[in-house]
Structure 1
Amino acid sequence: MNILAMVFGWLNDQLLKMTWLSELVRLLVEKVFRLSVNGRLGGSIHFFIYDTIKIFILLSLLIFVISYIQSYFPPERTKKILGRIRGIKGNILGALLGTITPFCSCSSIPIFIGFTSAGLPLGVTFSFLISSPLVDLASLLLLMSFFGAKIAIAYVVVGLILAVIGGTLIDKLGLEKYVEGYVREIENVDAEVPEMTRNERISYSKEQVKDIIQRVWLYVLIGVGIGAAIHNWIPQSIIENVVGGNNPFAVLLATVVGIPMYADIFGTLPIAEALFAKGVGVGTVLSFMMAVTALSLPSMIMLSKVVKPKLLAIFVSIVSAGIIIIGYLFNAFSYIFV
């Protein structure tokens, strides 16, 4: 057991946390820039360079692998799988399929239209819609590199639970009539799913890496920049008073602040890392990340074009309440994860 623990620890440090990269960047800052990484400016430069390179390396590798897996589950095949199962099992399957089809919150909307027009249960579709931008295999490994295995696994589990419960509640409320009429009228073409060759899957995975990097690079840089500022320039006392344990409304505030932002988990991770390092509760950090990824304002604007205001309000209320409850529970039992 000790040998396994040592091997796992080494793999975690060298492959996920990339301690070797941190050391190289430290040498760069100290030898080339002549700055101490313990100072504000040197620490900010180290944080920015190290986190940026680490995120893009992990992101490229993980997206390639996940996209290769995803090539077996195009929307048409996902739709067929979900169409076979009803009830709570359908919600669970919808949430699980969302984890291997990593669409961002905005690109999930066309998938939502396709699933709804195909006659899939509304609750199953919403379970997919919640989990797809919120939880995927790439985010699990990235979270492990920043926060460790316990928090990463817990984030994925509660994300799936939120997706299942959210979809189930929407299904039980019978809200199908609040989907815009034109969505139901869209002709559903049950196209055959072409089987891809190995080379085609590799080409597809490379294109996905290129496409996703082009879409998220700016948000990653902005997120890392904000994280560097929080980590090295904002006093810990201010952070603690605003979103720390001293403020009983910290989780609520983190959720409200996160909703208007538009980014995916890759852009929010550096900010979350900096907040966590400043002593912000794990539940508060996770609530912020979930709000940004699951309830971003642009995706809600897009969703408002396909569902009526009552359904949109219920969806936002259910997910927001779930995020807030998850945040407070994680803060209350943080000793298990830290």
Structure 2
Amino acid sequence: MGIFNFINDQLLKMVWLSNLVRYFVEKVLGLSVKERIGGSIHFFIYDTIKIFILLSILIFIVSYIQSYFPPERTKKILGHIKGIKGNIFGAMLGTITPFCSCSSIPLFIGFTSAGLPIGVTFSFLISSPLVDLASFLLLMSFFGPKIAIAYVIFGLVLAVIGGTLIDKMNLEKYVEGYVREIENVDIEVPEMTRKERIDYAKDQVKEIIGRVWLYILIGVGIGATIHNWIPQNVIEKIIGSDNPFAVILATIVGVPMYADIFGTLPIAEALFMKGIGVGTILSFMMAVTALSLPSMIMLSKVVKPKLLGIFITIVTLGIIIIGYLFNAISYLFV
């Protein structure tokens, strides 16, 4: 237990960094972290540095693992698995692939054009932005292992159920015709050397950080504002436990936003510190990552309106149900 606490506090939560930033704010800037300005500066610097450090390390590790599962190999693996097992494998493989919903769409097209069952591809599409090793460890650093594990489990369950429902509804005809007509060439997957895998992981770190850094800064800025400037009673009135529609409201607010889990975590952290229900917070995070407006626009070019509407409805209802369930059993996680 002592080793786990050390890893959690010093490596994931980076208590040492928080203390260092506190020293800078109080001793160098002459501000108290207990006051609004000092607290906002401490929150912004600490969360920004922590997220970028963890993100860089985690993207490198995940990308190195991902190098063993290029799209061609993934298609071969999924192509031999049918039924509910296919949905489970699709959801699981989504955990080692792209970090946002938009970057999952091209792989979704590739899987669909390769003739994989539509339910399997949608299980992949749901889990890919929601659940991965990086998000799991970052969630641990913010909320602890219980909430992180529960988030991953519920995310995977949503992906499996969502894909299974779409499969049972026989909606293949609502995939745009050109996707099915894309020629697939069965090529041999080249083996990468260790150096090539390391170079690939480095490139992924540069690419993903370059793509998300602005959203992280915006998210941290919003989080700092919520934590230090918006009174708790105002937040509780809007999305607190006394509002029976808090989960629905958080989900609706999250859908139009474009960010990934890394940009939403600072906002979620600030809401959590304000006492907002875990389910409400996770519903917001899931809506942002799985149903962002840009990714839905991209998906609308691949599937017809009826299938897009069914997908959005299933995922939205799933997120709302998960949110209320989390709130009901939140005493198990805090």
TM-score (norm 2): 0.99
Q: Which of 259, 262, 273 is residue 263 of structure 1 equivalent to?
A: 259
Letter in 2 for 1:38: K
Instruction: Give the Cα separation in 1 of the matches to 2:93 and 2:160.
Output: 12
Unaligned runs of 5+ in 1: none
Q: CA deviation at 1:103?
A: 3.7
Q: Which of 148, 153, 167 is residue 152 of structure 1 equivalent to?
A: 148
Partner of 1:125: 121
Q: CA deviation at 1:263?
A: 0.2
Q: Which of 44, 56, 61 is residue 60 of structure 1 equivalent to?
A: 56
Partner of 1:188: 184
Spell out the pairing of 1:268-283 with structure 2 (5 A cutoff): 268-283=264-279
Does residue 1:39 correspond to 2:35, yes or no?
Answer: yes
- Alignment: residue pair count: 334
Does residue 1:246 correspond to 2:242, yes or no?
Answer: yes
Spell out the pairing of 1:1-338 with structure 2 (5 A cutoff): 5-338=1-334
Q: CA deviation at 1:120?
A: 0.1
Instruction: Give the Cα separation in 1 of the matches to 2:247 and 2:121.
Output: 28
Letter in 2 for 1:225: G
Q: Deviations over 1:151-180 (max 9, x none)?
A: 000000000000000000000000000000
Q: Deviations over 1:94-117 (max 9, x none)?
A: 000000113410111111111011
**Kept in 1: contact 2:64–2:197 (CA 8 A):** yes
Instruction: Give the Cα separation in 1 of the matches to 2:259 and 2:90.
Output: 23
Distance 1:103 1:145, change over 3 A: closer
Instruction: Name the % identity.
Output: 82
SS of 1:106's equivalent?
helix
Q: Deviations over 1:75-105 (max 9, x none)?
A: 1111110001000000000000000113410
Instruction: Give the Cα separation in 2 of the matches to 1:222 and 1:214.
Output: 14
Q: Deviations over 1:48-97 (max 9, x none)?
A: 00000000000000000010000000111111100010000000000000
Instruction: Give the Cα separation in 1 of the matches to 2:304 and 2:104.
Output: 17
Structure 1 segments of 4 or more deviating over 3 A? none
SS of 2:184's equivalent?
coil
SS of 2:102's equivalent?
coil
Instruction: Give the Cα separation in 2 of the matches to 1:42 and 1:76.
Output: 51
SS of 1:107's equivalent?
helix
**Kept in 1: contact 2:99–2:260 (CA 8 A):** no
Instruction: Give the Cα separation in 2 of the matches to 1:286 and 1:325.
Output: 11
Distance 1:61 1:336, change over 3 A: same
Instruction: Give the Cα separation in 2 of the matches to 1:103 and 1:284.
Output: 22
Instruction: Give the Cα separation in 2 of the matches to 1:186 and 1:138.
Output: 32
Letter in 1 for 2:289: T
Q: Deviations over 1:269-322 (max 9, x none)?
A: 000000010010000000000000000000000000010000000000000000
Q: CA deviation at 1:198?
A: 0.3
Q: Deviations over 1:191-230 (max 9, x none)?
A: 2111000000000000000000000000000000000000
Unaligned runs of 5+ in 2: none
